[in-house]
Amino acid sequence: MRGRLFLYLALACFVALIAIFIGDGYIGIYDTTYVTAGEREQTIEADYWLQQYPAPSGFTIDYYISAQWGQRVFFRYEIDNRRFSTYSTVVQSSLWQENEKLLDLFSETKTIEPFDKAVAEWTLSTEELEPPVAGASNQYTVKINWGEVERNIVVDFYYPVEVPYR
């Protein structure tokens, strides 16, 4: 009888463990960003931001990508609603440089059904930007906002080098 008690306690621990995995680890709202620059797609999963928050005071976490000036950078942003209720939010994306907003890239209200996903897509084109000036910064920040969440992706543009073809 006493032996069985330990078995039941072990089973209770197992059930509680699974409940934590589901309740704390799975339920929630998660975002994934796909950035394609050139021929390379990079995936920024929610855990990249979650592992680094809370960031030290006055310090923001950014993700860096590089792209060639003149090429378009494609963004695909996915919000995964793993909750039992419908979630509605305004997804906004804008381009910033030196704390100054340059462009609005995307803005749309997304209503996501329970355990469903919403996708937002936009493109960053250098044609909409001022031509590069020698010595000036070639880094731009793409800010993605929804709810209280803000994601910063720094795009570092490099300039094509003339290759002496034969």
Partner 1 sequence: MRTYILYGFGILLCISGISYLAAEYVKYLSQPGKLACLMLIVGMLGFLGKYFDEIGW
Please report, as ranges, the residues that interact with partner 1 according to CB under 8 A: 2-4, 6-7, 9-10, 13-14, 16-18, 20-22, 24-26, 28, 30, 46-47, 50-51
| DSSP 8-state code for residue 165 | -
**Residue 19 vs 119, nearer CB to partner 1:** 19
**Residue 2 vs 166, nearer CB to partner 1:** 2
Shortest Å, Cβ 21 to partner 1: 5
Strand pairing category for 87-97 and 73-82: unpaired
Shortest Å, Cβ 103 to partner 1: 32
Nearest partner of 91 among 74, 81, 78, 72, judged by Cα? 78
Shortest Å, Cβ 135 to partner 1: 41
Strand pairing category for 28-37 and 40-44: antiparallel
Strand pairing category for 139-146 and 28-37: unpaired
